[in-house]
Chain A
Amino acid sequence: MTLVWCNRLWALAFALALVSSGMARAEEKIYVVTTLPDLADITARIGGELVTVESLAKGIEDPHGVPIKPSFLPKLNRAQVVVVMGLEYEHSWIPALLSEARNSKIMKGNIGYIDASLKVTPKEVPMDLSRAKGELHPAGNPHFNLDPEGGRLIAQTIAEGLTLNFPQHRATFEANLKAFLAQLDAKIREWKIMAKPLQGVRFVSYHQDFTYFADRFGMEYVGTIELKPGIEPTAAHLVELVQSMKTEGVKVVIREPHFSEKVPSQIAAQVGGQVVKLPIMVGGAPEVKTYFDLIEYNIRELLKAAQAAGVAGKV
């Protein structure tokens, strides 16, 4: 009896040793956890071979309301660096996780906590912080990732953050950042030409998330289906929205993947327009696998919708 137990204990110890040595090998790379997939994609570009990156949220989720899963805790507990979008984008879920992760390195205010919004000039900053204005954008609009120039600022901030944490790899991060930005610059030139017909195109979306994108490519935001960021529409609000869409000739309705089809398509039908389903993060559509894919996909799909609705400009 005792002999059997001894054998079992030895087997268990052996198994544990195997597992832990495997984990140690995996952790030779810098382990970075990001809240959202865009940050993971860009961090992987900056960190290159040096990092293993994991995003907590998936691209199809509602980034403001990611469910607090206990399985996130072991990841945050092991993380050497955490990257958040910032501007209170993840305020309903990341603070609770960080305060329970028992990893003081990545607590807000420490160098392991990289806030990707640091270089961003926020738009739509509320003049007074009242919940009567909605609940999700208290520090201004946090959807700057949809603007490729926002991508530039994110990449620069991540490179600086990684360098601060791992100064011995400064040269690698700088070189990777340079390569990324060169590619981004070329793409932005391409996208600007590609998006020319979108100039002056008026649109509405479900959530107030295309502000930075619209400003970059000269589109005009007319309103949102949501009453305020995070507040579902009332009937009166929808009537008003359709009325203003009719007077302003709005034919394009953007629907983000985490909102249901019903209301956007009803509204589009009422104004004789088009619904276009656009991801707001990497992974939000099956084809969108990288940050570059995200911007390009959104421009392409908007062009299609604008052309189908007959509101695309002539180049």
Chain B
Amino acid sequence: MHVGSRALALLVVFALGLGPLAPAVFAQEKASELENLKKQMLQMEEQFQQLQQQIEKLETKKIQEVEAKANAALESSKKTFASQFNPALSLGIDTIGSYKSHRQAFNPGDGTAGTRDAGQPINNTRPAGADFNLRSAELFISADVDPFTRAYATINASADAANNDEAILSVEEAAIVTTRLPYNLTVRGGRFFADFGVLPHRHDHDLPFVDRPPSLATFVGGEAQTNGVEVSWLAPTPFFLRASGTVGNKLGADFRDGVSDVNSRPIKGLTYMGRLQTYFDINDDNNVELGGSIAETPNAEDVTNSGRFERRLVGMDFKYRWYPLGYGVRQSLTVAGELLHDLGEADPVNGGPRRDIFGNAVRQGAWGGYVYAEYRLSKQWRPGVRFDYFQLQSEPLLVTNSFTLQPASTLNATGHRTDNRTWTAYLTWFPSEFQRLRLQYNRSDRGNAQDANEFFLQWTAFLGSHSHGFSERE
């Protein structure tokens, strides 16, 4: 009830009731009559209030009815748009400006036979010195196919120096995913980033850094692309437990996938992958994620060396997060890493095949991995550091450690250490959820290659319905 309406009520009381009675009141001055009047006034005020409430009620009801009708009309008009059936589209634009002290390449070595890596560039087709690179203009399309499946595709055009800076169009992913299988199962088929590790199946522009950790770039070869079929299962446990198995023709940018138009590929030439992952909330603010992955190719073909070998890549990953909920704190800490062991290539290059005392080829393992810590200072600012280490698969002969007399792989023909370290510091700025600028410094110390300093500035933007899927979550 407003102040105004109360005054009105008083006025009404005066006009109707008090006015004619006034002489009597003044004449007799009876307290009881005054009381009566007060009561009357209160009653009338109450009636007024009730009336007003009724009016309000009626009005809101009317408005609601009208609104409901308008809504219904709006909804039906929405449904008639043909674009309702169009798939969701998004475009990611990822541009990198960089300065590198020099082009990283393997040391020339001593020229002896088998030094395959001698003088070759490392993981990189970009020039040394100053550079600008549209790393990717990536189109992402997704939609339901029917009530039982959905499908998505990622089409990437990236300009590459090795191709006169002309963009090469490639289908990074194009896969069909089931949505209604029983027993918590999902099947995915086509070309997709295989469920191996954590960062291997992230697109370049979705990585927490400018570059892919060098260990992953070396062991997996960029994104974990495969062509095949994957079955995944969410365990019906009270805690998160997920398992997947994949059969594909390769893992990542694997040039040794044995595809040749001359030889047929045995079923053992396919790559068999598996992954198990789990997650625990330590409490509301702290949680841990753990995973293990394996990729086994029983009989891979090395096209360059025209030999066959068994390759087994094993990965372990962890992620710890401190993410305090609310209370004005928007800060969080992530510490995560992956450890890989790559066992393969019976036919190492530097110095020819390695054989045991019976003359059989010996497979050689290599270790690699990275760990990073990122601190979110605010919604916009995230500094981080990363350390990456890996050994080379195509490593020279084992040498005997003069102290332990055990064979170890420490030196190559030119006397350099053959393990590779990269120290990284970076700072990411998010002006909004869909735009990101990142500054990064890499110091690479590579065993049998030149060391390098690298500076990057990355500018990334997303157009359209870019929403992070479950596997791209932070």
Contact residues of A with B, CB < 8 Å?
23, 58-62, 67-71, 73-74, 77-78, 91-92, 95-97, 99-102, 104, 107, 119, 121, 131, 135, 149, 189, 193, 230-232, 257-261, 284, 314-315
Contact = CB atoms under 8 A, between A and B. Distances in A.
B327 A257 contact: yes
Given A102-B234, A121-B67, A315-B3, A107 B179 contact: yes
Contacts of B71: 121
A67 B279 contact: no
A77 B473 CA distance: 18
Could you say which interface size class chain B belongs to? Answer: 35 or more
Interface in B95-138: none
Contacts of A95: 467
Contact of B328 (A58, A69, A259): A259
Given A92-B467, A102-B186, A102-B234, A71 B279 contact: yes
A71 B239 contact: yes
A68 B467 contact: no
Nearest to B66: A121
Given A77-B234, A102-B185, A135-B434, 9 more contacts: A58-B325, A60-B327, A69-B281, A91-B467, A101-B234, A102-B186, A121-B67, A258-B328, A284-B326
Interface majority SS on A: helix, strand, loop or mixed? loop
Given A107-B179, A257-B327, A258-B330, A70 B289 contact: yes
A68 B434 contact: no
15 contacts: A61-B326, A73-B242, A74-B237, A95-B467, A97-B470, A100-B234, A100-B469, A104-B180, A121-B70, A131-B432, A135-B432, A230-B432, A257-B327, A258-B326, A260-B329
A96 B470 contact: yes
Interface string B322-352: 0101111110000000000000000000000
B239 A74 contact: yes
A135 B433 contact: yes
B328 A257 contact: yes
A260 B281 CA distance: 25
Tell me if B's interface is mostly helix, strand, loop or mixed: loop
Contacts of A230: 432-433
Nearest to B1: A193
Contacts of B68: 119
Interface of B: 1, 3, 53, 60, 67-68, 70-71, 179-181, 184-186, 234, 236-240, 242, 279-281, 284, 287, 289, 321, 323, 325-330, 378-380, 431-434, 467-470, 473-474
Contact of A74 (B238, B379, B433): B238
Contact of B234 (A62, A73, A121): A73
A232 B281 contact: no
A6 B434 CA distance: 57
Contacts of A189: 53
A100 B468 CA distance: 12
Nearest to B474: A67
A135 B281 CA distance: 29
Contact of A60 (B70, B180, B242, B325): B325
Contacts of B287: 69, 71
B327 A68 contact: no
Contacts of A257: 326-328
Nearest to B236: A77
A35 B327 CA distance: 19
Given A61-B325, A257-B326, A69 B279 contact: yes
Q: Which of B3, B289, B378 has the most chain A CB within a 10 Å cutoff?
A: B3
A150 to B, nearest CB: 12
